[in-house]
Chains A and B, each alone.
Chain A
Amino acid sequence: MTTITMTVNGQLSSREVEGRTLLVDFLRNGLNLTGTHVGCDTSQCGACTVHVNGRAVKSCTMFAAEADGSCVQTIEGQSNVDGSLNVIQQAFQDNHGLQCGFCTPGMVMAAAELLKNNPKPSEADIRHHLEGNICRCTGYHNIVKSIMAASGQNFSAIAAE
């Protein structure tokens, strides 16, 4: 067991963990941040996507101990300060970008990273960026549309091209 400390959604948290504890288990079980999900055991689905020091990371592929001292953002920390949905979250609701909601936290975290680096992505950019995030419900149609809307682009104009 080792003690690790990290800043999660702006709050400093310290816990004892086993060497083999994954970051996702630390977040879910240690900190009770259950918005980050586990959808696979081969690092394929992206349901566990969080940001570590500003980069999107699959938290099932990282040991909690490796994140010692870092700054972690999860879905629970994404809303605006007044508690309202942020631009990406709101775009997902407005465009029906989720159904069962299980992939959604990972999708939102992946989208946030994309839009930070590429504020006006094309449809192809978005689809390419989501390669590591699987959704079984939506056929991706409304997820791509949501991310376009979050970037301020007019979906119908693009779809009509």
Chain B
Amino acid sequence: MPKDSGIGASSKRREDVRFLTGAGQYTDDINIHGQAYVHFLRSSIAHGRLNGVDTSTAETMPGVVRIFTGSDFEGVGGLPCGWQVTDRHGEPMQEPAHPVLAQGKVRHVGDPIAAIIADSPSQAIDAAEAIVVDLEELPAVVDMKEAVKNGATKVHDDLTSNLCYDWGFVEENKDAVGEAFEQAAHVTTLELVNQRLVANPMEPRVAIGNYNRANDESTLYTTSQNPHVIRLLMGAFVLGIPEHKLRVVAPDVGGGFGTKIFHYAEEAFCTFAARQINRAVKWTCSRSEAFMSDAHGRDHVTKIELALDADNNFTAIRTDTLANMGAYLSTFAPSVPTWLHGTLMAGNYKTPLIYVNVKAVFTNTVAVDAYRGAGRPEATFQLERLIDKTARELGVDPIALRRQNFITKFPYATPVAVEYDTGDYVATMDKLEQIADLSGFEARRKKSEADGQLRGLGINCYIEACGIAPSALVGQLGARAGLYDAATVRVNATGTISVMVGAHSHGQGHETSFPQVVAEMLGIDEGMIDIVHGDSSKIPFGMGTYGSRSIAVCGSAMVRATEKIITKAKKIASHLLEASEADIELKDGQFNVIGTDKSCAWGDVTLAAYVPHNYPLEEIEPGLEETAFYDPSNFTYPAGAYACEVEVDPATGKVTIERFSAADDFGNVINPMIVSGQVHGGIGQGIGQALLEHGIYDENGQLLSGSYMDYAMPRASDVPFFEVDHSCQTPCTHNPLGVKGCGEAGAIGTPPAVVNAVIDALHSGGHTHVTHIDMPVSPSRVWSAING
């Protein structure tokens, strides 16, 4: 019987009621009395010397309050990067300055040059047209291979080159890996592109800065996945506002997918300007503007090689990647192609030797940073495409080749620095074979062929490192922050509870799932518990939501805080019941003296805590509120196996997804309905990457896919129903809930399954010369491959 409440129940989402009735409060729904509006005048060229900005005419236009340019930000900090990577030679990465408004040069289409504040949005836009910018166009650096050549135009004149870092991992293994390749019985090589994507949460970014002269306090309302991180970065590094004078609020946020982790120039600008003009300043991003100002994702060019012995055991992997950073270093950009990518190159397989080289490159494009999966989809795509190609070259079954090389003993220390605590890759593959009805595939293929279509089956396995992250470890790896999380459990006199959590919900349903955990622990009704999130003035601290970390890290903090509550509540109960503390048990919201019929209710104890007439005041304080910080001791390692079946129309190259199945191991699951929804969404985005989406720049650095007219977002008719299963559960061994996290799995596991299926379809049609097609696998690319 499925449970109807607590851990493991598919409780309906309580937040849905406000979203379904139009009562959600997103940042753009907030208006502050007397607010002004800012419009950013952005560069229309990719690279140019900024010789001057003449705002004199614009300043006289109706409604204009004030116009800011880069010179107004001299002496103000730039946007900081939160991660410093050390290169192969022990040197720190090259780290360019990133001013809030451009100074001296513009470095990508969309780089903000001036900010016009006016009484209305349209007045600000009108005035922007009257600004005269003296811009001398320079050659744009767009292609990464060109950018790293000697003598290439430099994006940043004060850096030695466009190379941010040259990272080798594990550097000490390099020679041994080379030897393994020399001794290999078979080597498969694949060159591929993991194309640039734009995250595109449906809510565009918004920022509202406000300043209160009475107490010298600044407030920023922003579309963020992590308000405390923004407070930390903006307060300490950009504007020099101490934490106690800076409040950051992220209310309902309409999706994030990584791109709302980062600290953006517009946030700093609105906070800064509100203080300057002593009036609230609001910025609402348009979708076109989002395409040229939100951090993009992926954008790797990779060569990967796999060495095998004569028995088809994997013996070594070697990769060479160029990773685009764009024009500036976004908050976590340097960590994505390194620590979130190189550490995952072992995948689900016991390959003893691995060497990963990554060169991060500056170009005249929008900054690239984490997008759903961040580094792990890139690692998985390379590895799983490569294994498929290997199986084809060797003439062996791709599932059998995977199974033969699976890691089967846990814990397992990979040669790329991480230790998987638990997993069962055989179980998820068995489950996949069943839910995807692989035994029926040949019959379905025959039917497709009878209709003149090519049918293909693509398999993929993935592993990811989630629950980001042990602070001591990431500190060694270059993180400039700790990655713990925090929760405060506040029990009120009547027994209702507010839990202040550092995680932020922007679609994940925390308002429903987090209370399920506390309800389970206390044995009280979920409806008595609310969570509070998204406001730095209400929550002790928090590092926010990304990297599938919310329930694994913040949920663990919440468990610890609840445990402290239970300990104290038992003390109070033992006093009320005149029994020894050791004899008290909490069950179904009742405190019982074990072995007797004496008991008191949850509400009796909570009331006593706040009305301490009969209370052990000499031993414990009144009140019932506890805070816990939780720093994980390891990452968590969700894993799974995915299958995709496609039909390819050989006449047009069009690919249709016919079936899609996912068998995941997320450890223990709090709310199965929400977990399935997370996987669906990830698969949707993975299919988008595989078949449709591409952030394309032309050779002059103009973004060609800069709106929904050109950037192909997946629509309802591009996807089928999905078959998802998460019944294989190997609980995480090092967090109290045994959870692993599920937010990114779909986006990681899907793209290789789709591409593998397309290649399989083409081979079944005799097009065996096609060994790889880069994403997006569009009809024109498929048609060209067939007819190439």
Contacts and interface: CB of A to CB of B under 8 A. Distances in A.
A96 B21 CA distance: 15
B26 A102 contact: yes
Contacts of B20: 75, 85, 89, 92-93, 98, 101, 104, 108
9 contacts: A28-B28, A85-B20, A96-B677, A98-B13, A98-B16, A100-B254, A130-B715, A137-B507, A138-B684
Nearest to B21: A79
A93 B10 CA distance: 12
Contacts of A133: 716
Contacts of B676: 96
| Residue of B201, B253, B254 most packed against chain A (CB within 10 A) | B254
Contact of A35 (B22, B288, B709, B714): B22
A42 interface: yes
B508 interface: yes
Classify the interface of chain B: helix, strand, loop or mixed.
Answer: loop
Contacts of A79: 21
A37 B21 contact: no
A61 interface: no
Interface in B24-77: 24-26, 28-29, 31
B509 A99 contact: yes
A16 interface: no
Contacts of A139: 680-685, 687, 714, 719, 722, 746
A126 B15 CA distance: 25
B202 A98 contact: no
Nearest to B253: A100
Interface in B671-697: 673-674, 676-677, 680-685, 687
Given A45-B202, A85-B17, A103-B202, A35 B24 contact: yes
A49 interface: no
Contacts of B410: none
Interface string A83-99: 00100010011101011
B23 interface: yes
B680 A159 contact: no
Given A102-B202, A130-B715, A136 B685 contact: yes
Interface string A127-149: 11011011111111111110000
Interface residues of B, number: 58
Contacts of B272: none
Interface of B: 12-13, 15-26, 28-29, 31, 122, 200-204, 252-255, 257, 286-288, 506-509, 673-674, 676-677, 680-685, 687, 707-709, 713-717, 719, 721-722, 746
Contacts of B252: 100-101
Contacts of B709: 42, 44
Contact of A141 (B17, B202, B680): B680
A84 B715 CA distance: 30
Nearest to B18: A101
B779 to A, nearest CB: 18
Contacts of A134: 202, 708, 713, 715
B680 A138 contact: yes
Contacts of B719: 139-141
Contacts of A104: 19-20
Classify the interface of chain A: helix, strand, loop or mixed.
Answer: loop
Contacts of B716: 126-128, 130-131, 133, 135, 140, 143-144
Contacts of A33: 22
Bin the interface of chain A by size.
35 or more
Interface string A1-30: 000000000000000001010000000110
A47 B12 contact: no
A76 interface: yes
Given A36-B22, A37-B254, A141 B721 contact: yes
| Residue of A79, A133, A137, A139 most packed against chain B (CB within 10 A) | A139
A37 to B, nearest CB: 7
A153 interface: no
B272 to A, nearest CB: 25
Contacts of A127: 715-717
Nearest to B287: A40
B19 A98 contact: yes
A51 to B, nearest CB: 13
A141 B13 contact: no
B77 to A, nearest CB: 31
A83 to B, nearest CB: 9
Given A130-B715, A131-B717, A136-B685, A92 B16 contact: yes
Contacts of B746: 139
A101 B680 contact: no
Contacts of A96: 12-13, 673-674, 676-677
B12 A94 contact: yes
A74 B20 CA distance: 11
B507 A76 contact: no
A59 interface: no
B200 to A, nearest CB: 6
A137 B681 contact: yes
A42 B287 contact: yes
Contact of B26 (A37, A85, A92): A37
| Residue of A29, A136, A143 most packed against chain B (CB within 10 A) | A136
Contacts of B682: 139
A39 B677 contact: no
A34 interface: yes
Contacts of B26: 34, 37, 102
Among all A-B residue pairs, the 7 with the closest Cβ atoms: A35-B22, A139-B684, A101-B19, A102-B254, A100-B507, A44-B708, A99-B507
Contacts of A44: 707-709, 713
A154 to B, nearest CB: 14
A143 B683 CA distance: 15
Contact of A136 (B28, B202, B253, B287): B202
A34 B23 CA distance: 8
A142 B508 CA distance: 14
Contacts of A159: 721
Contacts of B721: 123, 141, 144-145, 159
Given A74-B22, A101-B20, 20 more contacts: A37-B203, A38-B28, A42-B288, A42-B709, A47-B202, A85-B21, A93-B13, A101-B252, A102-B26, A104-B19, A108-B20, A127-B715, A130-B716, A135-B202, A137-B677, A138-B681, A139-B685, A139-B714, A140-B716, A141-B721
